[in-house]
Amino acid sequence: MTAPLYVMRAAGPQDIEGFKQLREKAGAGFTSLMLDDAAMTKKLELSAESFASATDQAGPERYLLALEHIETGALAGCCGVKSTIGETPPFFNFRIIREAQSSAAVGRRFDMDVLIGVNDFTGCSEVGSLFVRPEHRVPGLGRALAQSRYLLMASAPQRVREQVVSELRGRVSPEGVSPFWEAIGRHFFRMDFSEADKLSATTDNQFILDLMPQHPIYIDLLPEEARAVIGKCHRDGEGARSLLAWEGFAFSNVIDIFDGGPLVSAQRDAIRTKRESRRLRLRADDAAPLTKRALLAVPSLKRFRSVQARVAADDEGLRVSSATLNALGLASGDEALVWIDDAH
* C-beta separation of 300 from 283 below 8 A: no
* Cα 151 from Cα 297, distance rounded (Å): 7
* Per annotation, catalytic residue among 136, 187, 215, 234: 234
Return all residues near 99 (Cβ < 8 A) that are at least 6 apart: 111, 112, 113, 114
Helices 37-52, 16-26: axis angle to 10 degrees equals 120
Rounded Cα–Cα distance for residues 308 and 324 (Å): 8
Sign of dihedral through CA atoms 269, 273, 278, 279? negative
Cα–Cα dist 240/132, whole Å: 11
Reported as type and span, the H/E element at residue 315 is none
Residue 234 among the catalytic residues: yes
Coil/strand/helix, residue 122? coil
- Which residues are designated catalytic? 234
